[in-house]
Amino acid sequence: MGRYLVTGGAGYVGSHTVLALRDRGEDVVVLDDLSKGHRAAVPQGVALVSGRCDDRAVLAEAFARGPFDAVLHFAALSLVGDSMREPLRYMAENLNTLAAVADATVKSGCRKLVMSSTAALFGFPERIPIDEQQGHAPVSPYGESKLMCEQALAWAERIHGLRYASLRYFNAAGADPEGRAGEDHDPETHLLPLAIDAALGKRPPLMVFGTDYPTPDGTGVRDYVHVTDLADAHLRVLPLLDTRSVRYNLGNGTGYSVREVMQAVERVGGRPVPHELGPRRQGDPAVLVASSALLRAETGWTPRFPALDDIVRTAWDWRVAHPQGYAGAKALAPA
């Protein structure tokens, strides 16, 4: 049994990774300032250190719960649109947070770190699906900030021997199949929960940004990976860090358009998705699909939920069971 520190572990992907670690019997400590995450998303019996990852006193408190076998880092600003409005904040906070966590990891004697990265590193891709050989050309400060974080980790490895894994994925989607966790953002910007809420009458009609892309139905195409499968990938790279650092692109390898996602919600929920058609958003590529061929070959990872309807069904079920998200959910018991 190992012991792991998960920063941002009260957030969407982080909380599902905490569940995956707990399901295989690991001890987990979560570090989260709860600005975006939810206290109720942290499972019972998991210690929560509340505070910012760039606060030295908070980091000292978290690492005092160790020693840790590895640190899994999810805490970051992650909204592309916001980064276009506040570029310096995104680049400064994401790099400073990662640097502070990596520095504390090294000083604690731990030499393994897994970072949640993004396919936004690649901007407008040269070819689809996006593999690890493509050049980095971010078209948003968010993507640029994650590229800077990867570069910082490369220096940490070179100078301090910190082995790291960087997982570049694009659209996390779905919810825990057992209903223990789900997606609850404020504001919500992800297509699937917005489409579900529109179908349930909880939000205004869904806005479809762009209908004139060079795609089969004119709407943007993205790769949707079930959040539980993402969590599994984070666990599968841990053994590789015994000997080397790795960088992997992570996706199902199949793209779905905005219209196809809406149709899947209608099939699963049995209700129409009210929507409106709007212009393209600046900086949105027509197609983003990430290859996971290298990750599959080197770790044996394969998605349990590759079908879009299965992804949608878990998200729909969680939302129906939790109409207010985590609001009003039972608070975390002290650990």
Task: Give the single-character DSSP code of 147.
Answer: H
Our measurement of the distance from residue 220's CA atom to the centroid of its chain's CA atoms, rounded to an integer in Å, reads 20
Question: Which of 96, 94, 97 is closest to 121 using CA atoms?
Answer: 94
Question: Which of 326, 34, 32, 28 is closest to 181 using CA atoms?
Answer: 326
State the catalytic residue, choosing from 142, 224, 248, 256: 142
Structure tokens belonging to residue 317: 């079920």
Question: DSSP labels for 186-223?
Answer: SS---HHHHHHHHHHTSSSPEEEE-S-SSSTTSS-EEE
| 7, 28, 37, 165 from 327: Cα distances, Å | 22, 24, 12, 33
Task: Give the single-character DSSP code of 42.
Answer: S
Helices (H) and strands (E) in the chain, counts: 10, 13
What 3-state class would DSSP assign to 258?
Answer: helix
292 neighbors 306 (Cβ within 8 angstroms): no
Angle between the N-to-C axes of helices 258-269 and 191-200, in degrees from 0 to 180, rounded to the nearest 10: 40
142 is an active site residue: yes
The span from the CA of 252 to the CA of 117, in Å, is 16
13 neighbors 231 (Cβ within 8 angstroms): yes
Q: Catalytic positions, please?
A: 142
